[in-house]
Amino acid sequence: MYLDKILAKHRETAIADTRNLDELVSKAKKSSPSRGFTDKLRKDSVKKMAVIAEIKRRSPSRGVLNENLQVSVTAEQYRRGGASCISVLTDAEFFGGSRSDLEGARSAVDLPVLRKDFTVSPKDVCDAKLMNADCVLLIVAALNKSELAEFHGLATELGLDVLVEIHDETELEIALEIKASLIGVNQRDLKTFEVDHRRAVRMARMMPANVVRVAESGVKTRADAQSLRDAGYHAVLVGESLVTSEDIVKSVSELGV
C-alpha cells in the first residue's frame, strides 16, 4: 500500500518536529501574499479547460520520470503552453521533490503554485506558506475529519487556497462538510495506483455549482481533457504525461480544450 507507507513516514517526521507552532503561524502570516490559485482556475476555465501542470521527478509506481528535469525551464514551458497554475511535488523520499523545487518554480513564472505533498500536521500547512506556495493539498483519505477541518481553517487563515482531494462519495461529503470550495477527484486509487476514468465523471455530477472541480491523475490526451470538460470539470492536474513529453509546450496547450 503506497499511501500507508508514505503517510507513516510523514507522520513519523511530524512527531519528531520540535518547532513551535505559534511561532511558525506568526512567521507564515508575514510571508508573501498568495497569487490566487482558485480564482485563476475559475477565471481561465470560463473559456477553456484550465491546466494545473505538475513538476514531478519520479513516482513510487513508475520510478524516475525525468532525471534531467530543470525546474525553471519546465515551469517556463508550462507557462508558454498556457498552463493556469503549477503543482510541485515537494516530497523527497518517494517523489524526489524538494522545497527548492517549489521556490524555483514560483520564482521562474508568475503563475500560482500548489504545494503537492502529504500534509499531516499544522506545521506542514505553515511550511507551505513559508515556501511561498499559493495553495496546499489536503487528502481526505489521509486525514481524519477533525484534522481536515483544522488544517483547512489554518490554511485559510494564512491566506492559502486549499485543494481538497477525494476519491468517492463518502469523501466528497466530508469535503463539503468542511466547506471546501476547490475539490480534486483523484482518478488513481491511492492504495493500488490503478486509474479509473469513470470515477471522475461520476463524482462531477455530485458537486455543488459553487465548487471549482479538478480532475487528477491519468489525464494524458486532448480527448481525456475533453471528456472531463464535458463532465463539468474546470481544471485537470497533469504530471507524468507532461514531464515525459518530448514537446512540453505543445502537450500542455493540447489539454486546454
- Structural fold of domain 2-255: TIM Barrel (3.20.20)
Indicate if the alpha-carbon torsion angle 147, 150, 154, 156 is positive or negative: positive
**What is the number of H-type helices and E-type strands within the chain?**
12, 10
Cell of 138: 489536503
Catalytic residue among 84, 87, 186, 251, which? Answer: 186
Burial of 90 from C-beta contacts in 10 A (0-12 / 13-18 / 19+) = buried
Cell of 53: 501542470
Q: Is 171 a catalytic residue?
A: no
Catalytic residue among 34, 59, 87, 165, which? Answer: 165
Q: Is 23 a catalytic residue?
A: no
Q: Is 32 a catalytic residue?
A: no
CA distance 222 to 253: 9
CA distance 96 to 86: 17
Catalytic residue among 40, 45, 116, 129, which? Answer: 116
Element (H, E) at 176: helix 169-177
> What's the angle, vertex CA 106, arms to CA 225 and CA 252, rounded to 5?
20
pLDDT at 10: 96
CA distance 56 to 89: 6
pLDDT at 4: 87
CB atoms within 10 A of CB 219: 27
User: pTM for the whole thing?
Assistant: 0.95
CA distance 214 to 232: 9
Cell of 5: 507507507
Comparing C-alpha atoms, which of 205, 251, 257 is closest to residue 231? 205
CA distance 201 to 213: 11
Q: Is 186 a catalytic residue?
A: yes
Structural domain spans, the chain = 2-255
Q: Is 56 a catalytic residue?
A: yes
Comparing C-alpha atoms, which of 109, 154, 106 is closest to residue 132? 106
pLDDT at 195: 79
The model's pLDDT over 119-163, given as tens digits with 9 standing for 90+, comes to 999 999 999 999 999 999 999 999 999 999 999 999 999 999 999
Catalytic residue among 34, 45, 54, 84, which? Answer: 54
| 10-residue mean pLDDT series, the chain (257 residues) | 86 96 97 96 97 94 87 98 98 95 97 98 98 98 97 98 95 96 88 77 92 93 94 95 95 94
pLDDT at 191: 65
Catalytic residue among 84, 216, 240, 251, which? Answer: 216
CA distance 237 to 188: 12
